[in-house]
Amino acid sequence: MKRRTLLLSSAATLGLAAAGSAAWVYEDRQVFIPELLHQLVGNFQMGAEDQRKFVDAMAGHYGSEKLTALMGLYKIRQETGVGSAYTDLRVDNFERRLLTDFMVSTDYLRRQHEPNPRVSFLGYRLPCSNPYARFDGLA
């Protein structure tokens, strides 16, 4: 085999492997984020429109490319267990931020006592999104 043929076939093989792994890692954020929330939180129901608004607001805040990269890192670690100190920190922070954003952007904490609560999206990064805040007596 000629060297040129070997180089071309190697490049083609690497290109196919990269495209295949990119397709494996990529997942639609409208599917991935709700599934991950159900794993982290447990049983709850959320309307399709509220769910779409939450995911779109999150993508708008963090940036679509960054969110896609974090989802890819999360999926790689979840499926293979491969990670480094750098990527593990990013994935753990992503998980914490997702959970925090969900709790303060929805009415889940008000309905958590229900067996399978119907959750509504209230808004993303509201000025005061603390579910335990009391505004009684403020003028």
Per-residue DSSP letter, 91: H
Over residues 2-24, mean pLDDT? 50
* Confidence check: pLDDT of 9 > 80: no
pLDDT, residue 16, reads 43
pLDDT, residue 20, reads 46
Model confidence band, residue 73 (pLDDT cutoffs 50, 70, 90):
confident
pLDDT, residue 21, reads 42
The per-residue pLDDT for range 33-68, each reduced to its tens digit, is 999 999 999 889 999 999 999 999 989 988 888 888
3-state secondary structure of 107: coil
Domain limits of the chain?
Answer: 47-117
Cα(first)–Cα(last) distance of the chain, in Å? 84
